[in-house]
Structure 1
C-alpha cells in the first residue's frame, strides 16, 4: 500500500496555476501530473503543456482513451455531444482517468486527487470520488485563491496564460459545444481547418437525425455567413462596452485587456475535467 498524489491538467489556466502552486508550496509531495488527451485539442494546448512541463521539471503523463472521438460518435449513432448528453466527457476524459488509477486503487493504494476549483467558484463542483481509496482535495478553495490570484501565480512563475486566451476563454476540444458564438467566429479565423472539421461533423450528424448542433439554435454553416458573423461581432462589442461601463476603474488592468467570456455571457457550467 502506498499514497499517491495526482493532479489533472486540462491545458487551461486554473489547473496549470494549481500545478505551479502545489510544486512551490508543497515541494516534498511527489505529485503525478496528467493530461487526458482527446486527440481533438487545439495546438496551443500542447504548446502550453510543454511550457508548463518545463517549469515543473517533471513529465506530464498523457492519458489517451482506448477509442477516440470518431469511434464514440458512431457508437452514439452520430448524435453530437451536448450540454444535456456529455458523452464526450465520460468516454474521453473520465474513463481514461479511472483506467489509469483503478488498478492502483484496487491494490489498496490511497490516491489524493487535486482539483483546481477556485474560491470564487461556489457554483462549481469537482469530480466526485467513486472509489473508497480515492479522495479529492480543492486547494484553491481551501486557501481562498480566486481568479486574480490564479493569474498572478502564472505570471510570477513566468508561465503566463495559454495563447488561446487571446481569442478563447477556456480549454477543451476545438469543437466544444460550450463555446460562445464569438468563439466559433474566432475559431474560423484562427484555425479554419478545425472549423471546417467541426462543420463536417455537424453536417453528418444532422443528416443522420441528430437533434443537436454545436452552437445552440443554429448550424455552423448558418453561423459563418458574412452577415451573421458581422451581427455576432457587433453584439459582442456591445457586451464589451456595457461591461466596461460597469467596471470599477483598476489601475492594474489595461483598458485593452481581453475580458473573460464568462464576464460577458454569464458563468457556464462547463465540464471540470475539460476546462480547468
Structure 2
C-alpha cells in the first residue's frame, strides 16, 4: 500500500448478524473505522431498522451507498431481465461496484465477517491492489456461537427478520428457500406481491423466469401449507428459536452471496 495517503479502515454492514457482530467486535479496537451499507432499494424494513440501530450503537455515521440508484434503476439498464444465480448483475451493480467506487484509489484495509467455522469461504476479494482484506473472526477463532453472544451481550440482538428468514439481502432474493418465501408472504404480503409482479411481467413477454427457478410464486403460494408442513417435519426434533438456527434440506446446498448476506 502507498505511503502517500493514510490507510482507511472499512467495514461493510449487510444487515446480517455476522457483519453486525464484527462491527461491534472491532468498534473499540479500530476507532478510525468507517462503516458503510450498500442499500439496494429493495431491502426489508427490518434490515433498514437494524442498520439504523447499529448506527446508534456504533456512534458513527454508516455511509449509505447507491444513493438514487437502486434495483429498479439497474433493472432498466439490464433490459428488464431479472438477475439469477448465473447472472448476478444485482450483486455487481449494487454491492461490488459501489464498494470499489467508495474506496477509490485510497489504500484500504477491508474487514470481512467470515467466521472461523467457515473455512471454505473467503467472501468478496477485490482485485484492486490498494484493497487488503482481513478476517478478524477467523484470526481470533470466533464461531457462530461467539457471534450470537457478541450480539446478545451488546444489547443489539439479531435482526427481527431471522424469526422467519435465514439471511439479509433483497426481499426477492433468488437464494431464498421456499419456507422463506412463505415467510415473506406472511410478514410482508405487499413485498411478496411486488416480487410476483416481476415474474408476471416476464411471463407476459413469453419469458420463462421465476425467482425460485423451479416454480412460480403463485404456484408456491398455492401449496403454502405443504411447504410449512414439510419444514416442520424436517425440523421437528431441532426446536429452533428462529430460522437462522435451522439447516433446511428441501432446497439443497445454499452458498448464497456473502457480499449480501454476511
Secondary structure (helix, strand or coil) at the match of 1:17 reads helix
Matched, 1:22 2:17: no
Q: How far 1:100 sits from its partner (Å)?
A: 1.3
Q: Distance in 2 between matches of 1:110 and 1:101?
A: 8
Q: How far 1:65 sits from its partner (Å)?
A: 5.6
Match of 2:70 in 1: 68
Q: How far 1:66 sits from its partner (Å)?
A: 5.9
Distance 1:81 1:236, change over 3 A: same
Matched, 1:264 2:248: yes
Distance 1:144 1:236, change over 3 A: same
Q: How far 1:132 sits from its partner (Å)?
A: 1.1
Q: Do the aligned partners of 2:18 and 2:147 also contact (CA within 8 Å) in 1?
A: yes
TM-score, with length taken from structure 1: 0.88
Q: Distance in 2 between matches of 1:164 and 1:16?
A: 14
Q: Do the aligned partners of 1:35 and 1:63 also contact (CA within 8 Å) in 2?
A: yes
Select the residue among 84, 93, 96 that pairs with 1:94.
96
Q: Which moved more, 1:202-211 or 1:37-46?
A: 202-211
Which aligned runs of 4 or more in structure 1 are off by greater than 4 angstroms? none
Alignment of 1:188-227 (within 5 A): 188-225=185-222
Q: Which runs of 5+ in 1 are unaligned?
A: 245-254
Q: Which runs of 5+ in 2 are unaligned?
A: none
Q: Give deviations 1:29-83, integer Å, cap 9, x for gaps.
A: 4000000001100010111111111111111110116633223223323322111
The structure carrying a bigger helix percent of its residues is 1
Q: How far 1:261 sits from its partner (Å)?
A: 6.3
Q: Do the aligned partners of 1:262 and 1:268 also contact (CA within 8 Å) in 2?
A: no
Q: Which moved more, 1:230-239 or 1:260-269?
A: 260-269
The alignment's C-alpha RMSD in Å is: 1.6
Alignment of 1:1-276 (within 5 A): 1-24=5-28, 26-27=29-30, 29-64=31-66, 67-102=69-104, 105=105, 109-225=106-222, 228-241=223-236, 244=238, 255=239, 257-260=241-244, 263-265=247-249, 267-276=253-262
Aligned length: 256
Q: Do the aligned partners of 1:5 and 1:31 also contact (CA within 8 Å) in 2?
A: yes
Q: Give deviations 1:217-266, integer Å, cap 9, x for gaps.
A: 100111111xx10110111011112x52xxxxxxxxxx452243651236
Q: Distance in 1 between matches of 2:122 and 2:247?
A: 20
Q: Do the aligned partners of 1:82 and 1:212 also contact (CA within 8 Å) in 2?
A: no
Q: Give deviations 1:91-141, integer Å, cap 9, x for gaps.
A: 111111111111xx1xxx310000101111122221112211110011111
TM-score, with length taken from structure 2: 0.92
